[in-house]
Amino acid sequence: MAEKEGYLNSSGSSDTMNLGDVFMEPMEKRLFFRLTALAFLITFLTLACSSTREVHQETPLDTPEHHVFSGLILLDKGYLTDAKREFNLALKLNPRFSRAYLGLGLTYGRERKYQLALDSMCSARDEAKTDEDKASAFVGFMRLYTKMGTKGWLNKVKERFYDALHYKKDLPEAYYYMGVAYRKANRLYMAKKAFEKVIEINKGFVAESREELKSLEKPNG
């Protein structure tokens, strides 16, 4: 029988030399260093990605709300292409953002692309998450029907007016655009009452309503 290499210690026992014991310690160290380096790399990448997401989320100019706000200003100034860009950027960030569809609907209405306008307004209504957004969508329909002026348009405006008030009572823009519709239909007394209601509510569109009332008071108002 082959004997193991060894030597007798002071107690007379044999200390056997095992090659695995010689090489195990350096191998364990190398494995430890590799695992440590890998763990450090994973931690670094995780923190870096998390930091990138946080910076993006906190950018105040790249939110659906800000893009819609900018789009409405551009729409009011008549920059329709730029307004649509802002509304579409809002939808890119949140494809179900009701107010972005509302803005697109109003913009298409200004371009006389009425089917696109109505489709967008339907999306604004359907994606509305709050009563206020739902009411705003119905006011959007009021504005579109007034601009389109097709058969039965005034009745459609009045129907959407009551829909808007169902979701938000005393909504100033609902009364204001109802006044605009009555004026277009030459029902001046009803227009006057609607504009006066806006001033009574006193929560928006007050200056615009006062201008409308001044215009109605003129001989050719």
Q: Going residue by residue through the chain (221 aa), what tens digit of pLDDT does each one get?
A: 443 434 344 444 444 444 444 344 555 555 555 656 555 555 555 555 544 444 445 477 899 999 999 999 999 999 999 999 999 999 999 999 999 999 999 999 999 999 999 999 999 999 999 999 999 999 999 999 999 999 999 999 999 999 999 999 999 999 999 999 999 999 999 999 999 999 999 999 999 999 999 999 987 65
Q: How many domains does the chain have?
A: 2
Looking at the structure, do residues 139 and 204 belong to the same domain, yes or no? yes
Looking at the structure, do residues 121 and 157 belong to the same domain, yes or no? no
Say if 41 falls within a structural domain. Answer: no
Amino acid of residue 128:
A
Looking at the structure, do residues 143 and 120 belong to the same domain, yes or no? no
Structural domain span for residue 202: 131-221
For the entire predicted model, the pTM comes to 0.73
